[in-house]
Amino acid sequence: MNFTIQNVLLAVEDDYTTQDVQIKDGKIAAISKGLDIIGEAIDGTNKLLLPGFVNAHTHSSEMWQRGIISMYPLELWLAELYDFAPLDTERVYLSALGTAVETLLSGGTTVVDHLVLIPQKEIETIAVAVEAYQKVGIRAFIAPLIQDQSLGAGIPSGESEVTHEDYFRSTQATLEIMEEAIDKFHKPQDGIYVALAPTGIQLCSDALFTGCIELSDKYNLCRHSHLLETKAQEKLAQEKYGCTAVEHLDKIGYLNYRTSLAHCVHLTDNDINILAETQSTVVHNPLSNLRLGSGIAPILKYRQAGVNVSFGCDGASSNDSQDLLEAIKIGSILHNVTDLDYQHWITPQNSIEMASHGGAKGLNLAEEIGSLTLGKKADLVMYDLTSLSLLPRTDPIGLLVLGRPKNVVDSVWVNGKQIVADGQVKNIKVEQLRQELFQHSQWQTKRKSKTVKEFEAHYRKIMGL
């Protein structure tokens, strides 16, 4: 699949240049002025070409509950989420399509789906998500969300003696499901990757972490977890381990260059050094952290310590969107209130680099994607700079990151295949998806969550509320 984009704006060192870009066999073959046309000629006039971004943390099936979950902190929000989680694979398929479409149309070419599994239908859940992402053509990491402790164990017990019911599936059975999933679905050549994704220290035993470490080493796969999203989790780590969660995960060997960690809101300076030394990646989910009141992740400190940082939307019921440009904007400017010295602030150019190269690095793909570099795979997004929301013309990347771009993605290629053209997703009928999402849902008002009722008094006591 060869093509040549002509006269497109490219970002170079605090400036822009108009060039041609040749793609050959799915890879970037040449970037220069006045190139010969190979394959299809694509007009890049008044358009900006950037490497695709990575939506580095989401939970696709949360789309079914966006806009509805009460204003709760994570621990109670999760209780409501799970009380009303969709339990059919048809819905999982549709929300994976929806997540892919929203990610693509906001600049993403790769999605990391920390996929909630339907009990007893684990492999089927993964299969339909894989099917959806392959159908759309987006590069996708399926990171099945696994745990081996029941939900209540995620709240610190404090002084009280709390016992939790056993999780319904054994650690061993969970690891077997993961190995089956790797065998069936991990196909990097097709743009589908399986990652090991124990949800986090709050609901996972060391046996589960260790099993995941072994599988990830055996198959050279990525690891992905939530980490220290809330103050409650910070307390819980001290209860469980007598040290910080990062110190513990480091001790058991979970952290390395293939490990990406969502949130990272409550870390000590020593924790930050450990992330830097182990080359772990922080996935910043600013909107979710605000919505759930988790806090502001110390992203400027991470950058100063040399920790790789990428951006995620998080699931669509804690955000409640999958607009990656929104996550990038807020995840960049949010930190200006944490440091008076503006020389430390994230510039729009930094943000683009974090979202593309940072995202790729966190998935151990920095050699293959994440920048417009000769020989890299063509995961590219071309933005229409004549869109009303990007006018008047000023600094194109400034407009894209700091503005509120609408309908600006003109074309997307993944692995050199065009999957968005003229702003339209090519491989699925988005109009049909829209109708199906409408038909499978109903407007609702307040719901009553049984589990929130069960947890709330204890949660308030533990948190001193």
Instruction: Find the DSSP H helices in 157-268.
Output: 171-185, 206-219, 231-241, 245-251
Instruction: For residue 382, list its beta bridge partners.
Output: 49, 411
Cα dihedral 36, 39, 45, 49 sign: negative
- When the beta carbons of 34 and 392 are compared against a second copy, the nearer one is 392
- When the beta carbons of 326 and 379 are compared against a second copy, the nearer one is 326
Kindly give, in sequence order, each residue whose CB lies less than 8 Å from that of residue 60, ignoring residues fewer than 6 positions away: 92, 95, 96, 98, 99, 111, 113, 115, 129, 315, 316
Q: How far is the CB of 363 from a second copy (least distance, A)?
A: 24
The conformation of residue 262, written as its DSSP 8-state character, comes to: E
- When the beta carbons of 199 and 317 are compared against a second copy, the nearer one is 317
- When the beta carbons of 18 and 220 are compared against a second copy, the nearer one is 18
- When the beta carbons of 66 and 135 are compared against a second copy, the nearer one is 66
- When the beta carbons of 157 and 347 are compared against a second copy, the nearer one is 347
CA–CA gap between residue 90 and residue 425 (Å, rounded): 21
Cα of first residue to Cα of last residue in the chain, in angstroms, is 60
- Maximum separation of any 2 CA atoms in the chain, in Å: 73
Q: How far is the CB of 403 from a second copy (least distance, A)?
A: 5
The conformation of residue 34, written as its DSSP 8-state character, comes to: S
**155 close to 148: Cβ distance less than 8 angstroms:** no
| Among the listed residues 327, 318, 323, the one whose alpha carbon sits nearest the alpha carbon of residue 78 | 318
Q: How far is the CB of 360 from a second copy (least distance, A)?
A: 24
| Among the listed residues 8, 13, 112, the one whose alpha carbon sits nearest the alpha carbon of residue 60 | 112
- When the beta carbons of 192 and 232 are compared against a second copy, the nearer one is 232
- When the beta carbons of 92 and 196 are compared against a second copy, the nearer one is 92
Kindly give, in sequence order, each residue whose CB lies less than 8 Å from that of residue 339, ignoring residues fewer than 6 positions away: 300, 345
**356 close to 110: Cβ distance less than 8 angstroms:** no
Q: How far is the CB of 156 from a second copy (least distance, A)?
A: 14
Output the six-digit token pair for 28: 């970037």
Q: How far is the CB of 42 from a second copy (least distance, A)?
A: 20
Q: How far is the CB of 328 from a second copy (least distance, A)?
A: 12
**What is the Cβ-side half-sphere exposure of residue 250, based on CA atoms within 13 angstroms?**
16
Q: How far is the CB of 251 from a second copy (least distance, A)?
A: 30
Question: What distance lies between CA 228 and its chain's CA centroid?
Answer: 16
- When the beta carbons of 276 and 402 are compared against a second copy, the nearer one is 402
Q: How far is the CB of 450 from a second copy (least distance, A)?
A: 18
Q: How far is the CB of 428 from a second copy (least distance, A)?
A: 12
CA–CA gap between residue 326 and residue 405 (Å, rounded): 9
